[in-house]
Amino acid sequence: MIESDLSPRGLAALAPALLLIAVMLLAGLLDIWRGPRPRHLPRAVWTAAVLASFPWGLLAYLFLGRAEARTAEPGTAGRAGPGGPVARTLSPPGYAVADPVVRTTGLVREYGRGTGVCGVDLALARRGVYGLVGPNGSGKTTLIGLIAGTRRPDAGRVDRAFSPERLALCPDTPVFESWLAPREIVDLARRMIAPHRPASATAEVLAEVGLTSVAGRRVGGFSRGMTQRVGLAVALVTDPELIIMDEPAATLDPAGRADLIALLGRLGERLAILLSSHDLGQIQRAATAVGVLHRGRLVYQGPTADLVRHDPGGHDPGGHDLERAFLALTGTERPVCVG
């Protein structure tokens, strides 16, 4: 009797080909949606073509629609971009980062119906806290993704002075299995990402973030602030050169925010921290340098103290205020829109 084409032996023979097709489709779709904007047709149309007529749709995209990232020429970042003329970044006289841990040059990421980033030249020092602020929709999340490597630029470049595993990205509220303890979570991260580090590193970072006394408790009963500390410990145990933190104080009470600011100050003495936050008061207290994004452009970059001097109400008894300086620089009317 002739074996059916759908017998286990036949399926086993087809498995490598099916796996290859699935990988090709996934790679093509990721390139369409995470890469530079395709040529000729919108992303959704290219996606439909690839899915409806594989492999011809994929071949058409690769040869006709795929756009390569453009490298901006030196000095072009401040001249023009997708949304029109671009003002050069305002920086204090003499401000420069000689040996940055991350530098972006003419960085552009375009979106069809909204602001990405346009001609961003950003430099992060090897040590210290860099605060990234801007109104809603200014491009902060896009810029963080480009620096972290989770998004691809349409033009420009990102130069990192470290290997990919030396970058840690901390979300505002990390999620862990509720039945695990901080010691188990952090040690698992050490063994998977930084196996060269000794086992003692787990206890060291737990002590640094103030979790020694609860290192053996299950995280299911932790507050948001404590869970966030576990996430920061996971980042630290991997021995990073750069930690990116997105809204780390959004869910903390005043005491928790003060503790976090103090901790970031200590960490900034030995590594770089990129801090994106809605809380301008937190940025003023924690950040040594600040970058202000507005409509996709980096309109200010430099020491926090120099930006504060742009405060038009600095003559008031309350002194200089970062929020007033930010509003004066961006023209944003309501502080609630900051972030």
pLDDT at 14 over 70: yes
Integer Rg of the chain from CA: 24
Cβ neighbors of 246 (< 8 A, separation 6 or more) are: 141, 144, 169, 170, 171, 172, 276
Mean of the pLDDT values across residues 244-268? 83
Look at residue 126 in the predicted model and tell me its pLDDT. 93
Give the three-state DSSP class for 323: helix
- Cα–Cα distance between 267 and 128 in angstroms, integer? 8
The residue among 28 and 199 whose pLDDT is bigger is 199
Q: Which domains does the chain have, with CATH numbers?
A: 8-65 (no CATH), 142-162+241-337 (3.40.50.300)
- Cα–Cα distance between 289 and 282 in angstroms, integer? 13
- Cα–Cα distance between 209 and 203 in angstroms, integer? 10
Task: Output the CA–CA distances (angstroms, integers) from residue 294 to 299, 305, 322, 334, in the order listed.
Answer: 6, 19, 15, 14
pTM of the model: 0.70
How is 74-142 classified by DSSP, letter by letter?
TT-TTTEETTEE-PPPB--TT---SS-SEEEEEEEEEETTEEEEEEE--EE-SSEEEEEE-BTTSSHHH
Structure confidence by residue, pLDDT tens digits, 223-247? 888 898 999 999 999 999 999 998 8
Look at residue 322 in the predicted model and tell me its pLDDT. 67
Look at residue 336 in the predicted model and tell me its pLDDT. 31
In this structure, what token pair is assigned to residue 219? Answer: 């995280």
